[in-house]
Structure 1
Amino acid sequence: MTVIDGDRSAPALSALRTDGFVVLPGVLSGAELAAARDHADDLLRGVGWSDNDFDGRRTRRVYSLLSRPGALEPLLLHPEVHRLVTACLGEVYQFGMLFLSAVDPGQGAQALHVDAGVYPLPRQVEAETNVIWALDDFTDSNGATLIAPGSHRWADGRRPQPHELVPAVMPAGSALVYSGRLWHAAGHNAAETTRRALICEHVLPWLRPADNHILATGVEQLRLLAPALRRLAGVAPASDYLGLVAGQDPEQWLRQTAAD
């Protein structure tokens, strides 16, 4: 498994393109990690387990994070991650699915899948590039994400065999950046502690994202977000004539309607 440390921009991009993933260890400072954990726990408090096998019947998820980004903002906007995403998707892209995950003890392994499988596009198209932020250590015992290296380049119809899967073991504060075409799944949490993570999908700007961030966040809250977060919420036009509001750039529309 490729783990990149030190001056890592070029080797990280090379690994991402070759293997379909790369682990960036210890990206967050101790203070950033502690703040993110505290905010995650606030958001997760009182949340029940998911009601289906895929999301996990012993897993808690929190969506609509852009209405309350708090201490998660440095993760959502981390420049090292976004350099890699930009290299894969281009200068303009948007969040796809965005959620906190708390995999509690006893949660079984998730079904293997590719995130970009929701889009009816040729397999060779890199429609999304995603990141899993480890808020706790990812270990063999607590169900570290299972990945099939190189599977983003496989032909349609090929599925991973058990011997082709490796766990993405990484310390808390690390980031697993991976292609939306990579076969992967959350592992079985056989430990006695919860494994928390922040999952951020990034998709091409002309695709419909899995989450409707505009509706979930609301216009007034969008105005309060950092401009970079607004763009990732889907406010940025995909091109000169795609993604306008009443014929205007959305940022212009937000300013104009705020003054009305």
Structure 2
Amino acid sequence: MSLIHLPSDVRPEEVLACLQEHGYAIIDRLVSPDHMDGIAGELAPFMDRTPFGPDGILGRRTKRTGGLVARSQGVRDLVMHPTILETSRRFLAHATTIQLHCTQVVAVHPGARAQTLHQDEVAWDMYPWPQDYHVQCNTLWAMTEYTEAMGATRVVPGSHRLGRSLELEIADSLPAEMEKGSVLVYDGKVYHGGGENRSDQVRSAINLTYAVGWVRQEENQFLSCPLEVARTLPEDLLRLMGYQCGAFALGYVNGFEDPMTVLGRAEPGRILGAELMRNADQTDDRRSFLREAELG
């Protein structure tokens, strides 16, 4: 048995359907291997200086290099890839906004042991998210070839429906083998983990994660990307990084002003508020809140 692979010209709604049904999808060659090699060149100085993890969770033979928006134009292109971005927006459409949650290169070196199978959504202080509420949409882009012997990420298909506190073994999972430039998309509820690297090669992936806009980000995008770099970035990327309100009254600056004011991209004194909800797909609760706000 092998995991499901989709072609590079797949439509976001098809990726979404696979994600909802199986908890994951692999899209083959969504970008070219040359694109990934370009990113590797941009990030090599930072990856070389990254230490190995201090424990079995982060991996004693694994390096995790973050701050990728500031460090790589090629990664910015991946963050904004239309297929992935639209899939994430649809998957997390129950929230007013989505945001970039994490950027990192995960480099699993020879001799690395298999990681414990886990759910990424436990990052929020082990909060017991309801089974029908999805808080994140994750991606792992193959920066190198991605084989089982090299420690390809292992996935338990359908485990997004199994709940929390399961004792799953490596034998319950399958390797997400894929070519360089391919991407594994998976639900934050799905059980997965890095594989054992039995080869003599480094297995590298670019982990880009999107989350609903009202939770705290795993990687602090504001501190990871210096203001002098942020001021040069396009507005749609900045808003995805968090220069926006995650929902009504979450993330404004000063007195309900647009966070983009800090970068000189919005008019000072312009008040944000209920318009955030009006611009979103409104639930009954949101409509009720707006009516009450307008009446009183």
Asked if Structure 1 and Structure 2 have the same fold, meaning a TM-score greater than 0.5 normalized by the shorter chain, the answer is yes
Indicate yes or no: 2:178 matched with 1:170: yes
Residue equivalent to 1:74: 77
Residue equivalent to 1:241: 249
Residue equivalent to 1:65: 68
Structure 1 runs (4+) deviating above 6 angstroms are: 256-259
Specify every segment of 5 or more residues in structure 2 that has no aligned partner in the other structure, as ranges.
Answer: 269-296
- Report the Cα distance in structure 2 between the residues aligned to 1:114 and 1:78, rounded to whole angstroms: 24
Indicate yes or no: 2:125 matched with 1:113: no
Residue equivalent to 1:94: 99
Residue equivalent to 2:235: 227
- Aligned to 2:49, the other structure's residue is in SS state coil
Residue equivalent to 2:150: 142
Residue equivalent to 2:264: 255
- Displacement of 1:58 in angstroms is 1.0
Residue equivalent to 1:154: 162
- Displacement of 1:159 in angstroms is 3.3
1:50 and 1:59 in contact (8 A); partners too: yes
With over 3 angstroms needed to count, the CA separation of the structure-2 counterparts of 1:46 and 1:118, relative to structure 1, is closer
Q: How does 1:36-47 map to 2 (within 5 A)?
A: 36-47=39-50
| TM-score normalised over the length of structure 1 | 0.92
With over 3 angstroms needed to count, the CA separation of the structure-2 counterparts of 1:112 and 1:249, relative to structure 1, is same
Residue equivalent to 1:211: 219
- Displacement of 1:139 in angstroms is 0.6
Counterpart AA for 2:137: T
Instruction: Give the structure with higher Rg (CA).
Output: 2
- Displacement of 1:68 in angstroms is 1.6
2:121 and 2:189 in contact (8 A); partners too: yes
In terms of mean alpha carbon deviation, does 58-67 or 39-48 score higher?
Answer: 39-48
| TM-score normalised over the length of structure 2 | 0.82
Pairing partner for 2:22 from 19, 27, 39: 19
- Report the Cα distance in structure 2 between the residues aligned to 1:203 and 1:174, rounded to whole angstroms: 21
- Aligned to 2:25, the other structure's residue is in SS state strand
Residue equivalent to 2:4: 2
Deviations 1:184-219 (A, max 9, x none): 000000000001111011111000111111122233
In terms of mean alpha carbon deviation, does 216-225 or 131-140 score higher?
Answer: 216-225
Deviations 1:21-69 (A, max 9, x none): 0000101124322212212323212322121211111111111222223
Specify every segment of 5 or more residues in structure 1 that has no aligned partner in the other structure, as ranges.
Answer: none
Aligned pairs, number: 259
Counterpart AA for 2:264: R
CA root-mean-square deviation: 2.0
- Report the Cα distance in structure 2 between the residues aligned to 1:34 and 1:218, rounded to whole angstroms: 25
- Displacement of 1:258 in angstroms is 11
Counterpart AA for 1:249: D
Deviations 1:142-182 (A, max 9, x none): 01001000111113333324432100010000000000111
- Report the Cα distance in structure 1 between the residues aligned to 2:267 and 2:215, rounded to whole angstroms: 28
Counterpart AA for 2:86: R
**Looking at both structures, which has the greater relative contact order when contacts are Cα pairs under 8 Å and sequence separation is at least 6?**
1
